[in-house]
Amino acid sequence: MTATMVQPTTTGRSSTAAISALALGGFGIGTTEFTTMGLLPQMAATFDISIPTAGYAISFYALGVVVGAPLIAGLAARLPRKGLLIGLMIALALGNGLSAVAPDVTLLMTARFLAGLPHGAFFGIAAVVATTLVPAERRGTAVARIMVGLTIANLVGVPLATAAGQQIGWRAVYLAVAAIAIATALALSKWLPPVPAADDASPAAELRAFRRPRVWFALLTGMIGFGGMFAVYSYISPITTEVTGLSESAVPWVLAVFGLGMTLGATVGGRFVDRSVMGSVFGSLIAVTAVLVLFGLTATMPVAAFASVFLIGLVSQILASALQVRLMDASPDAPSLASSSNHSALNIANGAGAWLGGLAIAAGWGYSSTAWVGAALSVAGLAIAALSVTRVVVKRS
């Protein structure tokens, strides 16, 4: 049975404004997620702890994403979508506000966990809502436009926030994100039309999504295949200085190039997804594998390394949009939970890719070995995606 969500009445201009408001929320989420990585030295100095210990702030945020995405999407299945999205932005503001004023490291970790809770649910539900604002043939484009906010955060928000945090303190960055979240809530209140939950929505109905093998295949594809990108991205700073031989001042530029690739991928990727969802999944996984191999072979050459980083960001973002739509297609009667769980899967990929890349480095294989770890993960993700399609073909025959 397919859930029947009422289509809101929108014009082209009003749907653009609503989707832009959703993208602004994505910008705030992307900024708070990735800026922490660049502010660890300042946070460690504030609380007189080591940088690795401060790094737990990243882990607690990711844990919040993994837990919050399915929990909130499932329990809030019957709530009107507009009010829920506004509530999630208020929760994001509270989590970042608490992060900014945390007096000790324990409360900081708690605040980062709370800040991560609305992350996946917002993106997942926003993606479903965005597809109701446009014609069916433009679903991929709508989802990709939501993700543009996240990619612009990597292109502009993270470098600027990192620089600002170094100059005026890391607490100011989290206060700025809280302000962005409040601004998003106000924008959604003004521009997003009322979007009721599906007529037959319920927590039990949403949970039935996990009984479908196609949902698990899509989630596993993201958990494994997307880990390839994170295996490299997690160590891009030492790769830039130790392998490519550039100075530390080049690292922000490398990150900006990666963000530029992600932004372009979100901009054009929706068109590929509109044409073929699974074609985009396969194509992007093959492309990620090829680009990671290229990076492993050319990381010592600055121009080639920059080009490879740009391409990694581009094709990875196309994969993220394709998996988002794939999950909604795989569970039409529970799209919110399935779509939100995609971000849980991608955060698991984040941890798995970084961990496996770290094992290769610890084994003495060098920082460039992360590219080969990443390529292996991408191939494994491709195999899982192929198995999901093969399973459907065999079942139909």
Per mean pLDDT, which range of 45-54, 105-114, 293-302, 316-325 is the poorest? 45-54
Average pLDDT, the chain: 85
- The CA-atom distances, in angstroms, between 202 and each of 3, 79, 199, 205, 335 are 10, 9, 9, 5, 12
User: How far is residue 262 CA from its own chain's centroid?
Assistant: 11
pTM: 0.77
- Quick check: 319 and 374 in contact, CB under 8 A? no
- List the domains of the chain with CATH numbers: 8-197 (1.20.1250.20), 209-397 (1.20.1250.20)
Percent residues over pLDDT 90 in the chain: 39
pLDDT 10s digits, 229-288: 988 887 887 888 889 999 877 877 887 898 899 888 888 888 888 889 899 999 999 999
- Which helix or strand (DSSP H or E) is residue 314 part of? helix 302-330
pLDDT of residue 1: 42
pLDDT of residue 396: 54
Residue-wise burial string across 45-71, b where 16 or more C-beta atoms lie within 10 A, e elsewhere = ebeebeeeebbbbbbbbbbbbbebbbb
pLDDT of residue 281: 93
Check residues 392 and 326 and name the one with the higher pLDDT: 326
pLDDT band at 2 (very low <50, low <70, confident <90, very high): very low
Per mean pLDDT, which range of 113-117, 259-263, 285-289, 383-387 is the poorest? 259-263
- Quick check: 194 and 8 in contact, CB under 8 A? yes
Is 60's pLDDT higher than 80? yes
Q: Which of 136-150, 224-238, 279-293, 352-366 is the most confident on average? A: 279-293
